[in-house]
Amino acid sequence: MSHWWKYPLSDVLPFSLEAFYRFLESYGQAIWPLQLLVIIAGLVLVYQVGVGRTVTARPVLLMLGCGWLLVAGLYFHSHYVQLFWAGTFFAIAFAVQGLLLLSSTTMRVSLAPIRTLRRNMAAVVLAIAIVGYPLIGSFHIGFGQLIETFGAFPDATSLATLAVLASMRGWARLVLMLVPMLWCIVSSAILITLGGVAGVPLAVLTCLAIATALVPDRAGR
Protein backbone atom coordinates (compact mmCIF):
# COMPACT_ATOMS: atom_id res chain seq x y z
CA MET A 1 0.00 0.00 0.00
CA SER A 2 1.68 3.22 -1.20
CA HIS A 3 1.38 6.40 0.87
CA TRP A 4 -0.25 4.38 3.65
CA TRP A 5 0.08 7.29 6.08
CA LYS A 6 -2.63 9.15 4.13
CA TYR A 7 -5.23 6.52 5.03
CA PRO A 8 -7.25 6.36 8.27
CA LEU A 9 -5.88 3.85 10.77
CA SER A 10 -8.99 1.70 10.33
CA ASP A 11 -8.08 1.23 6.65
CA VAL A 12 -4.46 0.33 7.41
CA LEU A 13 -5.12 -2.36 10.02
CA PRO A 14 -5.50 -5.77 8.35
CA PHE A 15 -7.57 -7.28 11.18
CA SER A 16 -10.80 -6.72 13.10
CA LEU A 17 -11.34 -6.62 16.84
CA GLU A 18 -12.69 -10.17 16.74
CA ALA A 19 -9.62 -11.38 14.85
CA PHE A 20 -7.37 -9.64 17.35
CA TYR A 21 -9.12 -11.30 20.29
CA ARG A 22 -8.78 -14.69 18.56
CA PHE A 23 -5.07 -13.97 18.13
CA LEU A 24 -4.70 -13.15 21.84
CA GLU A 25 -6.52 -16.37 22.72
CA SER A 26 -4.29 -18.47 20.47
CA TYR A 27 -1.12 -16.79 21.75
CA GLY A 28 -2.16 -17.17 25.38
CA GLN A 29 -2.72 -20.88 24.90
CA ALA A 30 0.59 -21.29 23.06
CA ILE A 31 2.72 -19.80 25.85
CA TRP A 32 0.87 -21.28 28.83
CA PRO A 33 1.96 -21.60 31.68
CA LEU A 34 4.45 -18.75 31.18
CA GLN A 35 1.78 -16.36 32.44
CA LEU A 36 2.06 -17.83 35.93
CA LEU A 37 5.80 -17.14 36.09
CA VAL A 38 5.60 -13.58 34.80
CA ILE A 39 2.74 -12.76 37.17
CA ILE A 40 5.06 -13.67 40.04
CA ALA A 41 7.80 -11.51 38.50
CA GLY A 42 5.33 -8.64 38.20
CA LEU A 43 4.33 -8.90 41.85
CA VAL A 44 8.02 -8.79 42.81
CA LEU A 45 8.31 -5.56 40.81
CA VAL A 46 5.35 -4.08 42.68
CA TYR A 47 6.95 -5.01 46.01
CA GLN A 48 10.35 -3.58 45.06
CA VAL A 49 8.92 -0.25 43.93
CA GLY A 50 6.11 0.00 46.48
CA VAL A 51 7.54 -1.13 49.79
CA GLY A 52 11.05 -2.36 49.08
CA ARG A 53 13.86 -0.62 50.94
CA THR A 54 16.40 -1.14 48.18
CA VAL A 55 17.92 1.95 46.59
CA THR A 56 19.55 0.47 43.50
CA ALA A 57 17.35 -0.01 40.44
CA ARG A 58 19.48 -2.76 38.90
CA PRO A 59 17.23 -5.73 39.88
CA VAL A 60 14.07 -4.14 38.50
CA LEU A 61 15.85 -3.04 35.31
CA LEU A 62 17.08 -6.60 34.83
CA MET A 63 13.55 -7.95 35.16
CA LEU A 64 12.18 -5.32 32.79
CA GLY A 65 14.86 -6.03 30.19
CA CYS A 66 14.14 -9.75 30.23
CA GLY A 67 10.41 -9.03 29.91
CA TRP A 68 10.92 -6.86 26.84
CA LEU A 69 13.09 -9.50 25.17
CA LEU A 70 10.45 -12.15 25.87
CA VAL A 71 7.73 -10.01 24.30
CA ALA A 72 9.96 -9.23 21.30
CA GLY A 73 10.62 -12.90 20.60
CA LEU A 74 7.46 -14.67 21.70
CA TYR A 75 4.73 -12.14 21.03
CA PHE A 76 5.90 -10.13 18.03
CA HIS A 77 8.44 -12.27 16.16
CA SER A 78 6.74 -15.65 16.62
CA HIS A 79 3.05 -14.70 16.58
CA TYR A 80 2.03 -11.07 15.94
CA VAL A 81 3.93 -10.90 12.65
CA GLN A 82 1.44 -13.42 11.25
CA LEU A 83 -1.38 -11.01 12.05
CA PHE A 84 0.20 -7.70 11.05
CA TRP A 85 3.18 -7.01 8.77
CA ALA A 86 4.44 -4.33 11.18
CA GLY A 87 5.12 -7.03 13.78
CA THR A 88 8.71 -7.37 12.56
CA PHE A 89 9.42 -3.70 13.25
CA PHE A 90 7.73 -3.91 16.64
CA ALA A 91 9.85 -6.95 17.49
CA ILE A 92 13.03 -5.03 16.67
CA ALA A 93 11.93 -2.03 18.75
CA PHE A 94 11.10 -4.22 21.75
CA ALA A 95 14.39 -6.13 21.45
CA VAL A 96 16.36 -2.88 21.34
CA GLN A 97 14.46 -1.57 24.38
CA GLY A 98 15.17 -4.79 26.24
CA LEU A 99 18.89 -4.54 25.50
CA LEU A 100 18.92 -0.89 26.57
CA LEU A 101 17.28 -1.78 29.87
CA LEU A 102 19.77 -4.59 30.46
CA SER A 103 22.73 -2.38 29.57
CA SER A 104 21.48 0.30 31.98
CA THR A 105 22.11 -2.12 34.85
CA THR A 106 25.81 -1.32 34.44
CA MET A 107 25.12 2.32 35.25
CA ARG A 108 24.63 3.90 38.66
CA VAL A 109 20.85 4.04 38.68
CA SER A 110 18.63 4.34 41.74
CA LEU A 111 15.00 4.52 42.72
CA ALA A 112 13.53 7.65 44.23
CA PRO A 113 13.54 7.58 48.05
CA ILE A 114 10.83 5.50 49.70
CA ARG A 115 7.66 7.36 50.74
CA THR A 116 8.21 10.19 48.27
CA LEU A 117 5.18 11.28 46.29
CA ARG A 118 6.66 10.21 42.94
CA ARG A 119 7.57 6.73 44.12
CA ASN A 120 4.17 6.27 45.76
CA MET A 121 2.40 7.32 42.58
CA ALA A 122 4.64 5.07 40.49
CA ALA A 123 3.83 2.12 42.75
CA VAL A 124 0.10 2.68 42.24
CA VAL A 125 0.45 2.87 38.44
CA LEU A 126 2.66 -0.22 38.49
CA ALA A 127 0.15 -2.19 40.56
CA ILE A 128 -2.61 -1.27 38.10
CA ALA A 129 -0.39 -2.28 35.16
CA ILE A 130 0.48 -5.63 36.74
CA VAL A 131 -2.89 -6.55 38.26
CA GLY A 132 -5.65 -4.24 37.04
CA TYR A 133 -5.02 -3.60 33.35
CA PRO A 134 -4.56 -7.29 32.36
CA LEU A 135 -8.03 -8.04 33.73
CA ILE A 136 -9.75 -5.49 31.48
CA GLY A 137 -9.34 -7.44 28.26
CA SER A 138 -10.00 -10.71 30.08
CA PHE A 139 -13.61 -9.72 30.60
CA HIS A 140 -13.99 -10.09 26.84
CA ILE A 141 -11.58 -12.91 25.98
CA GLY A 142 -11.56 -15.01 29.16
CA PHE A 143 -9.28 -15.56 32.13
CA GLY A 144 -6.36 -17.80 32.96
CA GLN A 145 -4.28 -18.36 29.85
CA LEU A 146 -5.63 -15.19 28.24
CA ILE A 147 -4.75 -12.61 30.88
CA GLU A 148 -2.50 -9.97 29.25
CA THR A 149 0.35 -10.20 31.73
CA PHE A 150 3.55 -8.24 32.13
CA GLY A 151 6.48 -9.99 30.45
CA ALA A 152 4.29 -11.84 27.96
CA PHE A 153 2.12 -9.12 26.39
CA PRO A 154 3.31 -5.70 25.19
CA ASP A 155 0.72 -3.38 26.75
CA ALA A 156 1.17 -4.49 30.35
CA THR A 157 4.94 -4.70 29.86
CA SER A 158 5.12 -1.16 28.52
CA LEU A 159 2.89 0.27 31.24
CA ALA A 160 4.86 -1.49 33.97
CA THR A 161 8.10 -0.19 32.47
CA LEU A 162 6.83 3.38 32.40
CA ALA A 163 5.80 3.10 36.06
CA VAL A 164 9.14 1.65 37.18
CA LEU A 165 11.13 4.22 35.22
CA ALA A 166 8.95 6.98 36.68
CA SER A 167 10.07 5.84 40.14
CA MET A 168 13.75 6.22 39.24
CA ARG A 169 16.15 9.14 39.42
CA GLY A 170 18.30 10.61 36.66
CA TRP A 171 17.94 11.71 33.06
CA ALA A 172 18.48 8.20 31.66
CA ARG A 173 14.99 7.13 32.77
CA LEU A 174 13.43 9.73 30.47
CA VAL A 175 15.31 8.30 27.48
CA LEU A 176 14.29 4.75 28.42
CA MET A 177 10.64 5.83 28.63
CA LEU A 178 10.49 6.78 24.94
CA VAL A 179 9.85 3.35 23.38
CA PRO A 180 7.26 2.16 25.94
CA MET A 181 5.49 5.51 25.67
CA LEU A 182 5.36 5.26 21.87
CA TRP A 183 4.08 1.70 22.02
CA CYS A 184 1.31 2.65 24.45
CA ILE A 185 0.26 5.45 22.09
CA VAL A 186 0.24 3.11 19.09
CA SER A 187 -1.56 0.32 20.94
CA SER A 188 -4.21 2.59 22.45
CA ALA A 189 -4.85 4.12 19.02
CA ILE A 190 -5.28 0.64 17.52
CA LEU A 191 -7.61 -0.51 20.29
CA ILE A 192 -9.71 2.65 20.17
CA THR A 193 -9.98 2.37 16.39
CA LEU A 194 -11.09 -1.25 16.64
CA GLY A 195 -13.50 -0.49 19.48
CA GLY A 196 -11.52 -2.41 22.11
CA VAL A 197 -12.48 -1.78 25.72
CA ALA A 198 -8.84 -1.40 26.87
CA GLY A 199 -7.92 1.46 24.54
CA VAL A 200 -9.01 4.38 26.71
CA PRO A 201 -7.69 2.92 30.01
CA LEU A 202 -4.34 2.31 28.32
CA ALA A 203 -4.16 5.92 27.16
CA VAL A 204 -5.15 7.25 30.59
CA LEU A 205 -2.61 5.09 32.42
CA THR A 206 0.10 6.13 29.97
CA CYS A 207 -0.58 9.80 30.66
CA LEU A 208 -0.60 9.12 34.40
CA ALA A 209 2.76 7.32 34.24
CA ILE A 210 4.32 10.18 32.26
CA ALA A 211 2.90 12.73 34.69
CA THR A 212 4.32 10.69 37.59
CA ALA A 213 7.80 10.84 36.08
CA LEU A 214 7.63 14.65 36.23
CA VAL A 215 6.68 14.82 39.91
CA PRO A 216 9.53 16.11 42.15
CA ASP A 217 10.97 13.91 44.91
CA ARG A 218 8.82 15.10 47.77
CA ALA A 219 7.90 13.12 50.83
CA GLY A 220 4.38 11.71 50.72
CA ARG A 221 2.04 11.75 53.67
pLDDT bracket for residue 14 (50, 70, 90): confident
**CB pairs under 8 A, 24+ apart, for 187-195?**
187/154, 187/155, 187/158, 189/9, 190/9, 190/13, 193/9, 193/10, 193/13, 194/10, 194/13, 194/16, 194/17, 194/20, 195/17
Helices within 128-153 (DSSP H only): 133-141
pLDDT digits (tens, 9 = 90+) for 111-127: 877 778 899 999 999 99
Mean pLDDT of 192-216: 92
Model confidence, pTM: 0.91
- Top pLDDT among 138 and 57 is at 57
